[in-house]
Amino acid sequence: MAPPLGAQQLIGHRLLDIDGNIVGKIGQVYFDDQTDAPKWITVRTGLFGTHEYFVPLRGARAMEEGLQVPFDKDTIKRAPSIDTDRHISPDQEDIVYDHYGMRPEVPEQRAEDAPRGGSGFTVGRHRRPSTDDPHTPRAS
């Protein structure tokens, strides 16, 4: 078994399906808004990495060959299409979880259920950009 990788170190590594088949390369890592823990990755597939799909990190494990997830290649490649360059809404997250036959580990409070009065509560998932990411906002 390979040593554990940090979340940002996953980018560019191979993603393997449950049977050890190579699905593609890991493109991005998305983090939980409340815990800041890595929750999702995207995998780039296709001849030039032109297709990108969300994959939950739950159940993933580091292997010598890359990161292995508990889903088959066809399931990953049939994942719903969601823009990978922005925040994931709770509704979008639910759609992807449903596709993989999963539910969130902890029920999440929706924005409409949040206490009123400026608590600073945020819902959803965010991508932590790397310094070489073209989507990273630059200071002027």
DSSP class of residue 136? S
User: Does residue 113 register a pLDDT over 80?
Assistant: no
Q: For 119-130, write each residue's pLDDT tens digit.
A: 222 234 555 544
pLDDT for residue 126? 54
Give the CATH number of domain 8-106: 3.90.50.10
pLDDT for residue 106? 58
User: Does residue 100 register a pLDDT over 70?
Assistant: yes
Decide which of 74 and 103 is more confident.
74
pLDDT for residue 127? 54
Strand-pairing partners, residue 16, are 22, 68
pLDDT for residue 43? 93
How many CA atoms within 13 Å lie on the side-chain side of 94? 8
Q: For 42-90, write each residue's pLDDT tens digit.
A: 999 876 656 889 999 999 999 988 999 999 999 999 998 777 667 788 8
What global pTM score does this model have?
Answer: 0.69
Closest CA to 102 of 60, 133, 47, 46: 60
Q: For 16-35, write each residue's pLDDT tens digit.
A: 999 999 999 999 998 888 88
Helices (H), ranges, the chain:
73-77, 90-99
User: Does residue 139 register a pLDDT over 50?
Assistant: no
pLDDT for residue 23? 95
For the chain, domain boundaries: 8-106
